[in-house]
Structures are given as C-alpha cells and as structure tokens.
Structure 1
Amino acid sequence: MSDQPTTPQALTDDAVVLDVREQDEWDAGHAPGAVHIPLAEVPNRLDELPDAEPLPVICRSGGRSGRAVQWLSAQGYPVVNVEGGMQAWAQGGKPVVSDSGKEPEVI
C-alpha cells in the first residue's frame, strides 16, 4: 500500500486506473485503460476493482480520488492517488477517449 501519490507522467498511456468521477464526467472523457466506478458506488462494487498493485485512482483534480484512496487503503487495498487527476492527465498530453462520440474533454 502506498500513501505516496503518483503523477500521470509516471503511468503508461494505457495504464489501468480506477476513475471515481460521475457518469457525465466519464462520458465526456477518460483515460483509455480506466475502469469507471463513481466514488459513492465504490464500497458496493469492490468486486469490480481492477487487478493492479498498486491501483492508481483518478478523478478530475485529485480530491475525490484522494478520499477513495484513503477509504480503500483502510480496507487493505493497495492503491495510490493520481496527483492532479484527469486535468493533469490531459494537460500532460496523455490520451483521453470519449464514450459520447464527441471530441473527448475533461469536465
């Protein structure tokens, strides 16, 4: 388990990450290797967590993912917060894909 955050640049473009943003944020744009479980649903969907150790957790800017990391870590899961979230991911030139058919964006 790691309390140390990671950066988008430290992850591969196709890294498996847990995205805890809301559905509209996910639809607008997300990392290609992301698994979407909104923050409020994480406790009830633990069986859907990707197998990655440590598992990077991401949101828009790092706040919600930080709360998810704190809770998951307390449950014994090896997780790490992605510093700066999807905003830093996109600003760092990392790929962003969209489920909406529109140009992907981070909202």
Structure 2
Amino acid sequence: MPTVEVTDLKDGDFLLDVREDDEWRAGHAEGALHIPVSEFVARYGELTQAAPQDGPVHVICRSGGRSAQVTMYLVQQGVDAVNVDGGMQVWQSAGRPVVTDDGAPGFVL
C-alpha cells in the first residue's frame, strides 16, 4: 500500500481526514478535508470535487488503520492516494499544528 511519513508531507499537500466527528472536533490538521470513514462511500463525491488533479490524496486517521482501508479503496478506484503512516498521533508528536474548527489549538482524541 502506498504510504508516506508525516515528516515527508509539505505545506499545501491535500489531506483527507477520515476520523469520526468527535475526533475531528477535538483537533485536526488545518485545511484538511473531513469525511468520516463511516460516511465515506456516501460522501465520495465530495472528495472527487475537492481532490487535486495533479497530486496525491494523503489519507489520515488517528493511527493509520482506517486511513489504510480508505487508501486501498481509493487506489482501487484509480485515485492517486497514500496512507499517512502513524496518523494524527504521529502528526501531533512531530509538532505539526492541530487546530479546532475555530482555529484554536486542538488535540488528538
């Protein structure tokens, strides 16, 4: 499965967060698109409208398990997608910003 390390992500890379609503509200990467894994198939069209045409979709969850499932689904659909290894736990540990919807500092639930 295509995988990327948090430290290899650059500002402006397209990030898809597939965690559930309560996890997202606690804190997320600024600018990420949020589609919970439990709603992913029904909301797939939102991703196709928002995803870049010239770069990969970086899929993230809390630790990498749910995002791996979504990444495999996307790859099967012909989408250039990669799983973010270690998820938001590693994102936060690496000192990357975690924010709430209003821009305040957040945390990984």
Superposition TM-score, scaled by structure 1 size: 0.89
Q: Which of 30, 33, 39 does residue 31 from structure 2 map onto? A: 33
Structure 2 unpaired stretches of 5+: none
Match of 2:88 in 1: 86
* Superposed displacement of residue 102, structure 1: 6.3
Aligned-residue offset at 1:39: 0.4
- Counterpart AA for 1:23: D
Task: Name the CA distance, whole Å, in 2 between partners of 1:62 and 1:75.
Answer: 20
Residue pair 1:15, 1:34 contacting (<8 A) in 2 also: no
**How many residues are matched?**
105
Q: Which moved more, 1:96-105 or 1:64-73?
A: 96-105
Superposition RMSD on alpha carbons, in Å? 1.6
Which residue in the other structure is 1:22 paired with?
20
Instruction: Letter of the 1:56 partner, please give it.
Output: H
Deviations 1:60-97 (A, max 9, x none): 00000001011111111110000000000010011111
TM-score w.r.t. the length of structure 2 is: 0.87
1:14 Cα shift?
A: 4.5
Contact 1:9 1:92 (8 Å CA) reproduced = yes
| Partner residue in 1 for 2:44 | 46
Could you tell me which amino acid in structure 1 is paired with residue 59 of structure 2? V
- Distance (Å, rounded) in 1 between the aligned partners of 2:99 and 2:12: 11
Displacement of 1:99 in angstroms is 2.5
Alignment partner, residue 59 of structure 1: 61
Superposed CA offset, 1:40-69 (max 9, x none): 211111221132321000000000000101
Q: Which moved more, 1:30-39 or 1:7-16?
A: 7-16
Native 8 Å contact 1:28 1:100 kept in 2: no
